[in-house]
Amino acid sequence: MSENSDYERPIPSNRLKEALGEASAVLGRAAQDAMFHDLELNGITLSDRPYTLLEMRDALRKVFGHDGTTLLMQRLQKALKEH
């Protein structure tokens, strides 16, 4: 996962939520719900303001650790590019 200016660009929360839902679909609905809840506990509500990929990565690391986050971020970036 490369660190670049794309990681610092704010992305509307509704777009991030949709893309993250798509990227994490392999987890199943219950795990997705738990992930969104854990993100909220870590300050990422995905309803109030834009977030950067850096912010998403940091919050996801608290939930999934380094390896899980790397995979999710790759899938998230792919989902964002498709829309």
| Torsional sign, CA 74, 36, 33, 37 | positive
In the chain, the amino acid numbered 82 is: E
Provide the residue range defining the domain that includes 67.
Answer: 5-82
pTM for the full predicted model: 0.87
Contact 49, 42 (CB under 8 A): no
Give the count of domains, the chain: 1
Encode pLDDT of 42-73 as tens digits: 999 999 899 999 999 999 999 999 999 999 99
pLDDT reported for residue 2: 46
Encode pLDDT of 3-48 as tens digits: 556 899 999 999 999 999 999 999 999 999 999 999 999 999 999 8
Rounded distance between C-alpha atoms, residue 62 and residue 82, angstroms: 26
Rounded distance between C-alpha atoms, residue 76 and residue 7, angstroms: 12
pLDDT reported for residue 10: 96
